[in-house]
A and B are shown apart, each in its own frame.
Chain A
């Protein structure tokens, strides 16, 4: 296998053909060696990536990779193996290793693979791959980055630690002994920024952001927009003030909504947690579990989200669905295994959710900011959260204090503590405005109560 100098680069379609052939071979090899069932995940990717460090281009990178992951079931026991050298010999070795591990594993009568009726061919999402984007080369990436770099360095106080942009052309597929077959190819441009503000001896907190595009034409505008937001955020962090300590309301930015609300919500709605007796909501489908102001949906076929995909990790076709509707739990999120354990049906969320949206509310962001005499706006949460009890405690990063609706500046060393179940119940307002977080999560600002805020001592 070769994939380095340009003239030798195989196309993604050639790689796909090779991998699909090897997957079929692997399934047959597993059967011959005595496996009762098997699933093979294959992937290939070609990446072109440029790196800027400390405001200078430092590295040009072109990579190709292929991977095969193999899961076998034997006598109700499982083992798995993965390799990045793709040949029939290496697959034979991987099958033998997986079967050897399965032999000494523990029997589990609920092991399962998605049946063909559960996992018919998924529909192709045409927006995931465009030839024009797949053809973007390092020179073009450098030209995009040069423009973005100009914006990132327009203010000398921005200490840019790292800026990367890459174009990935990839293929991934699943096949199993039940006859399930899925495959998808994708071309995606992505970028990330990391850095801090530095003005003389003053150094702000570190921040980062990222974004993506699925078409060549969208790269520049989207990356410039993200870079402008990143710069504005860093410059707003200088001269932080001490936050007063209080117990009450805080406003969560979309990023903090994910970290403090949605992560915990998904934990308790997860089939694996229900299966293991760790969820509080194992019998709560159809019941109100959080404030009626909260609605949570998944849009796996929506091109606005980087996680868009046609099928889940079990090979089951994905679909748009609502997990929580106005505070009422609509479903437990099951993969095939947890579904079987819980005598339920898969919700096609193995490896997901994929494209989460919290529904917008009715208040304006400005109204929410004015709602309290003093209000901490939390952008990131860096701390400990106990998913079972819901308790959280940590530092409010990149956060700001508002007094009577006016921005009183960024804050330093401010800790917040509370309980997820309390704040999810005490939602005081949801903004009309929504923002996308790193291309993967769309959310409004949410005002919650009952949080302890401790300023620097």
Chain B
């Protein structure tokens, strides 16, 4: 397909970007002894962006014949010309750093494409049966498997010519336990850039059936944590959620231009000097991240972008256009969900770098506080105000984990909370591999980090 796109882009007026994208998505959901979802979906087509003056035109076609793609090019150019007439400002120039020529086949792609769908479904059904049988208290067992198999080819009129095949499977299980009408939930999940075997070796899925059931059942006897400003140790999933939602979005260059709280903060202290945070398209630490991409959807090779270095804000996340405007190199963060979506600035694997403390010592150093495990839903605001749900909580008293508690809600101002970080663990985990980011379009992302000790507001009851 890349060769066809290269031929089509030749001789075109102005900047043209052609992106072929075929996605095969298989999903299975088994719960309560039945299969609720067993679906196989294919979406395929070519998206075209044309740049005329300072304006972008976009069109897309699901017909991948050369004739149809030519018509899509003409439509995108026509759209751009229409907009150029009304758009103020100078012509756009795109940064040209690290334009990719790669042909990439990701790990696990061959394994997953060769494995029969029915074999995957059978294993999901089997896991659900095991989970359902794990406790007499089990009310609902639910297992879900999804896999995304990507094929892309990207060609631009200024030198990009690259292609990839990627596999991104994910698996999660949820247990709802019941006693006397009270119900509690346990959850485990993981996603990887890799194959079936890689997925089920993810540390988050170690003893997944037993752990998921145990958490759900044990929480039946648990109370809720008390609200207030607390010393809290955040587990890797929660740290990842904080990095993604509360910091990551505010440093996306399009959002920075609009006026996010990170605007004008490059070079300023925004966190404790123990905090170094990055967003990476290439796996630079540990294993099992799902957001690995050799290049983004503009054909820019990805990198490990250091956002905060020792507490100082050091970079935003860029596409080619914003990089040129800010006078920096693009960071490979332009991503499109489907062929008919235009690329937007999105995150990939967002994380805090590990520190030098040991988790056991961090717990020992807390007189009265919480260890917060498991990420729930989360949202953050333009001013860095965030709210996250969590899975469950351990009360820490006198330096020891003493009591399991139910889920908590955490909130605060991200940069303020990061200023309170006083310990960062050596232990590290990618732990949001089943997550999707929403910004008009979806994006498959991952996030994680070490254990982090800080002060944060825990939601709770008022007397």
**Selected contact of A452 from candidates B35, B122, B408, B462, CB within 8 Å:** B462
> Known contacts A57-B87, A142-B83, A384-B376; is A63 also within 8 Å of B60 by CB?
yes
Q: Is A278 an interface residue (CB 8 A)?
A: yes
Complex contact B62–A101 (CB within 8 A): no
**Selected contact of B457 from candidates A65, A159, A195, A415, CB within 8 Å:** A415
* Chain A residue contacts of B125, Cβ below 8 A: 105-106
Complex contact A60–B55 (CB within 8 A): yes
Q: Is A97 an interface residue (CB 8 A)?
A: yes
Complex contact B122–A415 (CB within 8 A): no
- In the bound complex, CA of A257 to CA of B258 (Å): 30
Q: Is the interface of B mostly helix, strand, loop or mixed?
A: mixed
- In the bound complex, CA of A195 to CA of B260 (Å): 9
Question: Please, what's the 1-or-0 string for A422-457, where 1 marks a CB less than 8 Å from any CB in chain B?
Answer: 000000000000000000000000000000111011
- In the bound complex, CA of A62 to CA of B83 (Å): 12
Which of A57, A277, A397 has most chain B Cβ within 10 Å?
A57
* Chain B residue contacts of A417, Cβ below 8 A: 227, 409, 459-462
Question: Please, what's the 1-or-0 string for A1-22, where 1 marks a CB less than 8 Å from any CB in chain B?
Answer: 1111110100000000000000
Closest-by-CB residue of B relative to A416 is: B459
Complex contact B62–A84 (CB within 8 A): yes
B residues 293-352 touching A (CB-CB < 8 Å):
340, 342
Question: Which one of B65-73, B100-108, B354-362, B445-453 is at the interface?
Answer: B65-73
B residues 212-265 touching A (CB-CB < 8 Å):
227-229, 254-255, 257-261, 263
B residues 11-70 touching A (CB-CB < 8 Å):
30-35, 37-45, 55-63, 67-68
Question: Which one of B74-82, B192-200, B421-429 is at the interface?
Answer: B74-82
> Known contacts A105-B121, A277-B139; is A62 also within 8 Å of B461 by CB?
no
A residues 359-379 touching B (CB-CB < 8 Å):
none
Complex contact A413–B413 (CB within 8 A): yes
A residues 61-117 touching B (CB-CB < 8 Å):
61-66, 77-85, 90, 94, 97-98, 100-106, 108
Question: Which one of B145-153, B277-285, B379-387 is at the interface?
Answer: B379-387
**Selected contact of B35 from candidates A50, A105, A415, CB within 8 Å:** A105
**Selected contact of B42 from candidates A65, A85, A412, CB within 8 Å:** A85
Complex contact A98–B40 (CB within 8 A): yes
* Chain A residue contacts of B56, Cβ below 8 A: 58-60
Complex contact A383–B389 (CB within 8 A): yes
Complex contact B83–A57 (CB within 8 A): yes
Closest-by-CB residue of B relative to A192 is: B440
> Known contacts A97-B40, A204-B382, A384-B377; is A85 also within 8 Å of B57 by CB?
no
Complex contact B462–A247 (CB within 8 A): yes
Which of B33, B61, B259, B408 has most chain A Cβ within 10 Å?
B259
* Chain B residue contacts of A2, Cβ below 8 A: 61, 63, 67-68, 71
Closest-by-CB residue of A relative to B389 is: A384
Q: Is A206 an interface residue (CB 8 A)?
A: yes
Question: Please, what's the 1-or-0 string for A205-225, where 1 marks a CB less than 8 Å from any CB in chain B?
Answer: 110000000000000000000
Complex contact B258–A104 (CB within 8 A): no
Q: Is A262 an interface residue (CB 8 A)?
A: no
Q: Is B172 an interface residue (CB 8 A)?
A: no
Bin chain B's interface residue count: 35 or more
> Known contacts A101-B118, A104-B122, A452-B460; is A59 also within 8 Å of B389 by CB?
no
- In the bound complex, CA of A3 to CA of B62 (Å): 9
**Selected contact of B118 from candidates A100, A139, A278, A457, CB within 8 Å:** A100
Q: Is A118 an interface residue (CB 8 A)?
A: no
Q: Is A322 an interface residue (CB 8 A)?
A: no
Q: Is B401 an interface residue (CB 8 A)?
A: no
Q: Is B135 an interface residue (CB 8 A)?
A: no
* Chain A residue contacts of B86, Cβ below 8 A: 57, 142, 146
* Chain B residue contacts of A388, Cβ below 8 A: 176, 183
Chain A nearest Cβ from B164, distance in angstroms: 20
Complex contact B83–A1 (CB within 8 A): no
Complex contact B183–A382 (CB within 8 A): no
* Chain B residue contacts of A64, Cβ below 8 A: 60-62
Chain B nearest Cβ from A67, distance in angstroms: 8
* Chain B residue contacts of A146, Cβ below 8 A: 86
Chain A nearest Cβ from B263, distance in angstroms: 8
Question: Please, what's the 1-or-0 string for B386-424, where 1 marks a CB less than 8 Å from any CB in chain A?
Answer: 010100000000000000000111011100000000000
Complex contact A383–B459 (CB within 8 A): yes
Closest-by-CB residue of B relative to A101 is: B38
Closest-by-CB residue of B relative to A90 is: B42
Complex contact A53–B342 (CB within 8 A): no
* Chain A residue contacts of B457, Cβ below 8 A: 413, 415, 454, 456-457
Complex contact A82–B41 (CB within 8 A): yes
Q: Is B463 an interface residue (CB 8 A)?
A: yes
* Chain A residue contacts of B59, Cβ below 8 A: 4, 61-63
Q: Is A33 an interface residue (CB 8 A)?
A: no
**Selected contact of A394 from candidates B39, B63, B459, CB within 8 Å:** B459
- In the bound complex, CA of A94 to CA of B42 (Å): 9
Complex contact A80–B38 (CB within 8 A): yes
Q: Is A24 an interface residue (CB 8 A)?
A: no
Complex contact B258–A413 (CB within 8 A): no
Q: Is B441 an interface residue (CB 8 A)?
A: no
> Known contacts A4-B71, A5-B74, A62-B79; is A413 also within 8 Å of B462 by CB?
no
- In the bound complex, CA of A62 to CA of B79 (Å): 8
- In the bound complex, CA of A406 to CA of B20 (Å): 57
Chain A nearest Cβ from B416, distance in angstroms: 10
Chain B nearest Cβ from A97, distance in angstroms: 4
> Known contacts A54-B258, A102-B38; is A452 also within 8 Å of B121 by CB?
no
Complex contact A204–B459 (CB within 8 A): no
Chain B nearest Cβ from A340, distance in angstroms: 13
**Selected contact of A106 from candidates B34, B55, B176, CB within 8 Å:** B34
Could you pull out 22 A-B pairs where Cβ atoms are within 8 angstroms?
A: A54-B258, A59-B57, A61-B57, A62-B79, A80-B38, A82-B39, A83-B42, A85-B63, A97-B117, A102-B38, A106-B125, A138-B79, A203-B260, A204-B383, A247-B463, A277-B139, A278-B140, A384-B407, A394-B389, A397-B381, A454-B459, A456-B457
Q: Which residues from chain A sit less than 8 Å from chain B, CB to CB?
A: 1-6, 8, 50, 53-54, 56-66, 77-85, 90, 94, 97-98, 100-106, 108, 138-139, 142, 146, 159-162, 195-196, 198, 203-206, 245-247, 276-278, 382-384, 386, 388-389, 393-395, 397, 412-413, 415, 417, 452-454, 456-457
Q: Which residues from chain B sit less than 8 Å from chain A, CB to CB?
A: 30-35, 37-45, 55-63, 67-68, 71-72, 74-75, 78-80, 82-83, 86-89, 117-118, 121-122, 125, 139-140, 176, 182-183, 227-229, 254-255, 257-261, 263, 340, 342, 376-377, 379, 381-383, 385, 387, 389, 407-409, 411-413, 440, 457, 459-463
Please name the 7 residue pairs, one residue from A and one from B, whose CB atoms are nearest each other, closest first. A159-B259, A384-B389, A60-B79, A104-B118, A198-B259, A452-B462, A161-B258
Q: A64-B61, A159-B382, A457-B228 are in contact. List 4 more A-B contacts (CB 8 A).
A: A5-B78, A53-B258, A94-B40, A452-B460
